[in-house]
Amino acid sequence: MGLREALKSRVLTADGAMGTLLYSYGLDYCHEEMNLVKPELIEKIHSEYIAAGADIIQTNTYGANAIKLARYGLESKVVEINEAAIRIAKNAVNNGDQFVLGSIGAIRGVRKSDTTLEEILDAIRVQAEVLIKGELDGLLLETYYDFEELTETLKLLRTMTDLPIIAQVSMQDPGVLSNGLSLNEAFSELEKLGADLVGVNCKLGPYHTIQAFETVDLPKRAFLTAYPNASLLDIEEGRVIYESEVDYFARAAIELTNQGVRLIGGCCGTTPKHIEAVKKQLANRKPIEQKLAKPAKEVLIRDPEPRNTEPLHEKVKRERSVIVELDTPRHLEVDAFVEGAKALYNNGADLIMMADNSLASPRVSNLAMGAILKQHGIRTMPHITCRDRNLIGLQSHLMGLNALGLHDILAVTGDPTKVGDFPGATSVYDVSSMELISLIKQLNEGISFSGKALRKKANFSVAAAFNPNVRVLDRAVSRLEKKIEHGADYFISQPVYTKEKIVDIYEATKHLEVPIYIGIMPLTSFRSAEFLHHEVPGIKLSDEALERMKSCDGDKVREAEEGLAIAKELLDTATKYFNGIYLITPFLRYEMTSQLMDYIKQLDEEVKGVYVNG
């Protein structure tokens, strides 16, 4: 009898965690490599689950694809590792009544990673070919947080095999995926794409897993599966632990069958003892044929209040717009910063931009300074980096910005901590800048990073960084196009120091509908010019600019004058090709930036005069 037939009349029990047991043996390296290094241990774990009563076991191949194995230098052993896993699992069954599933784990996980979907599918295709050739009883797709990855993987596998396929999602919050899709809607979509069983695994313990299934209808054709964690995880003396009594887990299995689940296993923290208890509870239990699901609780998501300022990406499409950067202080005296911000804003800056601990050195929080400047009627744009905050901190920070009415933000990766004042500090980077842009736009839909409704839509206008100071400009433009796909509203460039580069940027980006602000930063001295050129990532000066600054080295007045002269010459070109100008204020010397703003006004007046007289 095949797996599909067995599930028509029975509730089946699957195995529990593999990684948890390997971890308990002190093996926290590549678990899939154990198929080659310690095959007897993997077979022992399979056998323990079978002895506990598991009707189904899965191969030790969760991460046995080239992308995940590459972390350990094992990408060339995909076939060997998967073949060994199949052999071990079949030896453990040894002609018994158990079904063997080929495990295929998600690659993106909670965060998407930089790996493209095409690369993911190529890796899965190679792994799946081995598993299918191994004549298993089905395939298990597990721990998929990214629904796009799961649906595309399912589509691929359905072109490769008629084997039963189990498609399992993972949720941050009960009943909803990270993209805001309800669990019921997700199951319906997976069933349409050919999944034979649809379900959930990982992240949530029994209580929240049951809660998630309460709003799920019985599928028309597919069956429901659930592989909860033993409990919510805890950390004890640096080790991950799951505290759960096996009887509690087994009683939860009964409730899961009441919700229509026909295949119950365990994920993180579960052991053969959990599965043994589940098997005893489910003995002779028949699956339910009808169910009245609870209606999902609808959460009204309000539209945001109308903004009292026009988004810059709309203004700059039709007229001149100037953004001025003024870094917040490294010390606790903020009066000079506020004074400079007032002067620049009153001189016509559309807003004051504030970096987020630039060069990985701590400064007064740009959120705090943004709130202070707002009290003075000044519009601001804080940067937000991926470096300093995990996903929890990023969402909390963004929610705070929205609550304060600071709706203009620049999403950047952030300089690594090694370049800053605390080289031993941790760089977080839970997400890339592109992923951060997508998540911010998700907040604009009223959906949290975990998929939960936020009751109200945020109202962010999102700028993205552009570094044109690279050898191959086309590659940088390709990154812009990807950022547009992720939701970037406009771009702000690193400072440019040649007229030719400005023209090159225009030619390379004129096909984009998303506007660009060109960065101009006046030089203050030859020493700072050399520092910028040789040490600051993303900034390169021309030989001419360096020579001109060197010619007045040591004379502070002449250096400042020459720095302004170079900047004005760059503005002569930049204002002809771009409406958006981004002025970076060096060392809080806002009077230099103010002079450049006056010069931009002069250039615009001259153009108007020519137009009127022409």
Query: Is 386 marked as a binding-site residue?
Result: no
Query: Is 202 marked as a binding-site residue?
Result: yes
E-strand ranges in 40-186 read: 56-58, 99-105, 138-144, 165-169
Q: Are strands 239-242 and 233-236 parallel, antiparallel or unpaired?
A: antiparallel
| Dihedral sign for Cα atoms in the order 604, 605, 608, 613 | negative
Burial 322-352 (b: 16+ CB within 10 A, else e): bbbbbbbeeeeeeeebbebbbbbbebebbbb
Query: Is 30 marked as a binding-site residue?
Result: no
- For 299, the 3-state DSSP assignment is coil
Distance CA(523)–CA(520), nearest Å, equals 10
Q: Which two tokens stand for residue 125?
A: 């295709």
Distance from the Cα of residue 23 to its chain's centroid? 27
Q: Which two tokens stand for residue 83?
A: 């073949």
Distance CA(352)–CA(357), nearest Å, equals 16
Residue 224: beta bridge partners? 198, 261
Residue 461: beta bridge partners? 408
Distance CA(510)–CA(477), nearest Å, equals 11
Tell me the C-alpha to C-alpha distance, in Å, between residue 268 and each of 30, 92, 179, 206, 245.
Answer: 16, 21, 23, 12, 14
Distance CA(389)–CA(269), nearest Å, equals 28
- Count Cβ atoms below 10 Å from residue 473 Cβ, excluding itself: 16
Can you say whether residue 357 is alpha, beta or left, with left for phi > 0 and alpha for psi between -120 and 50 degrees?
A: left
Q: Which two tokens stand for residue 375?
A: 């009290």
Distance CA(131)–CA(128), nearest Å, equals 5
Residue 233: beta bridge partners? 242
Q: Which two tokens stand for residue 86?
A: 């199949």
Q: Are 197 and 180 in contact (CB under 8 A)?
A: no
Q: Which two tokens stand for residue 276?
A: 């043994």
Residue with tokens 């890339």: 432
Of 498, 570, 561, the C-alpha closest to 524 is: 561
Burial 10-20 (b: 16+ CB within 10 A, else e): bbbbbbbbbbb
- For 231, the 3-state DSSP assignment is coil
CA atoms within 13 A on the CB side of 389: 17
Residue with tokens 């999602």: 169
Q: Are 34 and 60 in contact (CB under 8 A)?
A: yes
Q: Are 276 and 303 in contact (CB under 8 A)?
A: no
Distance CA(25)–CA(28), nearest Å, equals 9
Q: Which two tokens stand for residue 482?
A: 């990807």
Q: Return the CA Rg of the chain.
A: 29
- Binding residues, by number, are 202, 267-268
- Binding residues for Zn(2+), by number, are 202, 267-268
